[in-house]
Amino acid sequence: MTAMRRIEFLNYPIGGEVPIHQWGYRIDGTDLRVYAADATRDLWRREREEKDPAAEERFLLDQHDGLTLDEVGDPARHFLGDPAPEFADPSAGTTPVLGCSCGVWACWPLRTTITTTPDTVTWSAFRQPFRKKWGELPMGPYVFARPAYEAALAAPVRLPADPLRGDG
């Protein structure tokens, strides 16, 4: 049996004078973008020739950002695997949980299959749709107790800044 994981949903501002807020996540205390960086590190090394380890790490951590609160709209629907049509991928049955750091979520999304039962919510089969050759990324599955998941989603942790880029 897969061990239950703990998720924190985060809301934090990005941008300048009039910041927009976005969704982020920590699974067992680790930002989902760290898991994505770890899962794609070797894949990127085959495509990029970065000589500076610090620059490589920054690239990996900066490849994704969260989804804005406005984009997601109905978080209960989205994060329970029934995203709005503009997010849905009916052919793969996936939901984006991270977008591109450029600000256009669809530019470089991280998609996952969100499966629900009365007792659990599972994020599995993470993929980068613009790198089909990468296949399923070595992340997860992350299985959450549904009552705790829904409680975390209903009361996201509000941070003053992006937790990976400082002050969060």
State both tokens at 96.
Answer: 């984006």
**Across the beta sheet with 95-100, what order do the strands follow?**
4-5, 142-145, 120-127, 110-116, 95-100, 64-65
Query: How much of the chain exceeds pLDDT 90, in percent?
Result: 55
In tens, the pLDDT along 4-58 reads 999 999 999 987 666 789 999 999 999 999 999 999 988 887 777 767 788 888 8
- The rounded radius of gyration (Å) of the Cα atoms in the chain is 15
Confidence at residue 49, expressed as pLDDT on a 0 to 100 scale: 75
pLDDT at 156 exceeding the cut of 50: yes
Average pLDDT over residues 66-88: 89
Instruction: State mean pLDDT over 77-91.
Output: 87
Q: What does the pLDDT average to over 93-100? A: 92
What global pTM score does this model have?
0.90
Token readout for 168 is: 């969060």
Amino acid 1: pLDDT: 60
- Candidates 6, 25, 5; CA nearest to 156 is 25
Buried b / exposed e along 90-122 (16+ C-beta atoms within 10 A): eeeebbbbbbbbeeebeebbbbbbbbbeeeebb
Which pLDDT does position 85 carry in this prediction? Answer: 83
